[in-house]
Structures are given as structure tokens and as C-alpha cells.
Amino acid sequence: MFYLKNEEFTFTISPYERVIETEIDPEHHRWDWIKSFIEFSVPGLTARFQTEFTVGELQTLREQFSAHYDALIAQREIKPFEFRSERRQLNMIIRKVVGTEDVVIEYELRPEAHADSVQVKGDFSINESYFADILKRLDDMITWVS
């Protein structure tokens, strides 16, 4: 499970099934699908929906969170990263704020996997204290077996 929460914001990704793809990448399983429930909540709005991620895209997301964490620790700048899930239901831009110890995550959620789906957009910031848990939870999702 991937879980972020503060006073006004809750974001959870809970995997419930791994679909193994043996034809495309039988050795590394980067094209396995992790089917997941997403729950998002802010005052006045709660959204719950299903989506899926490939292991490869979760690995890329993990690499970028790790790179942004390293940039915070080293107090250096890093280019923003744009994550677009294969199903286009979760899109994010991860951006280190210049001259601070914060990373801003801009998000766009689409509860349905089509162009006419309602969109929920916003942003929140995290500091270095969040990263160890984010990286661990992404590792758990990548290696998760249903």
C-alpha cells in the first residue's frame, strides 16, 4: 500500500491483484500489471476508483522519488519529473522547490480511464521526512505478489 496523509489530504493506493505478463518480459516482469484501488480525500471531496500500473512505471516513479530525495539531501537542484500512468488515471509532476527543503507534487486524478472522465487536480508539498516511507511503499508495490 502507498499512503500519504496530512491534515487536509489523504492519498492511498492499495494493490489487490498482480497480473503476470510472461510473454513480453519473462525475466524482469516490468510489464506485470499491479491492479489497485486509489482513494483520495480532501475536505468536501472523496474519490475512490480502480486502476492499474505496470511494474516498470512504478520502478521509474521510485527512481525519480529517490533522485529528488538525494537532491534534497545534497541541497542541489534537479529537473522536475512528469509521471503519466499507462492508464492516464494518475498523473504527477514532482518538482523540488528552488532554495527550500520541499518537493511539490502536482497531481491529476481521473476516476475513469477515458478522456471525458472528471478530473481532480491539485498539489501538495512534502519534505525529506516523507521520502523513506514513500520509497519503502513503492518497493513493496513493485515486489508485491497477490
Q: What cell was used for 23?
A: 510473454
Is pLDDT larger for residue 126 or for residue 22?
Answer: 126
pLDDT of res. 3: 81
The whole-angstrom separation of Cα 137 and Cα 100 is: 25
pLDDT of res. 8: 82
Residue 86 has pLDDT above 90, yes or no: yes
Is pLDDT larger for residue 49 or for residue 23?
Answer: 49
- C-beta of residue 76 within 8 angstroms of C-beta of residue 45: no
Q: Are strands 81-84 and 45-54 parallel, antiparallel or unpaired?
A: unpaired
CA-to-CA dists, residue 80 to 1, 13, 19, 54, angstroms:
25, 22, 31, 22
CA 58 to chain centre: 7
Q: 42 falls in which pLDDT band (50, 70, 90)? A: confident
Residue 73 has pLDDT above 80, yes or no: yes
pLDDT digits (tens, 9 = 90+) for 96-115: 998 888 999 999 999 888 88
| Range with lowest mean pLDDT among 68-72, 79-83, 116-120 | 116-120
pLDDT of res. 92: 95
Instruction: Identify the CA nearest to 68 among candidates 51, 58, 49, 81.
Output: 81
Helices (H) and strands (E) in the chain, counts: 2, 8
pTM recorded for the entire structure = 0.90
Residue 144 has pLDDT above 90, yes or no: no
CA 32 to chain centre: 17
Q: Are strands 33-42 and 9-19 parallel, antiparallel or unpaired?
A: antiparallel
Q: 17 falls in which pLDDT band (50, 70, 90)? A: very high
CA-to-CA dists, residue 49 to 14, 18, 36, 41, 96, angstroms:
11, 17, 8, 12, 29
